[in-house]
Amino acid sequence: MEYGSIEREIHVEAGPEVVYEVISMPEHLREWWPDEAELEPVPGSGGVISFGDRSTPEAKVVPLTVVEADPPRRFSFRWGYDEGEAATSANSLLVTFELVPSGAGTLLRFIESGFREKGWEAAVLEEKYREHASAWDHFLPRLVAYVARLVSAP
């Protein structure tokens, strides 16, 4: 296995404008991905996402930097770098959501790349790649389910 990037394509039963909001706005992100999200969907802006209760040592708080915000077509950010550092291609992973109109819905193309560029030894690279692939396989279907609830709400 190459461990270069994780790529997924999913169909979402909503237009790109709705899906873009769901992948870029903190109030929507919290519904399907992290427990907390603090970010502005503006290129260059920094933020954090957290998994778990931030008042406990088990919480995982991850900085991120928005790279591209092109509504309703593309949203990308870098994450996985150490707090206090600037995100670069050498110290972070790049997550990209591309949204393509597809009938009455949207084809969401998801890519997370930069695993090899982090310079991890082989065993760590394989472990991190598998962890992220498994996590996205859990969270992306939650995105689809959340959008379905959102668009069906009165």
CATH number for the region 5-33+68-152 comes to 3.30.530.20
Where are any strands of DSSP class E within 41-85?
46-51, 60-70, 74-79
Give the pLDDT confidence score for residue 1 in this predicted structure.
Answer: 67
pTM: 0.95
Segment holding 111, helix H or strand E = strand 105-113
- Say how far apart CA 151 and CA 143 lie, in whole Å: 12
Segment holding 133, helix H or strand E = helix 122-152
- Say how far apart CA 132 and CA 105 lie, in whole Å: 26
Give the pLDDT confidence score for residue 71 in this predicted structure.
Answer: 98
pLDDT mean values, one per 10 residues, the chain (154 residues): 91 97 97 96 96 89 96 97 93 98 97 95 95 97 97 86
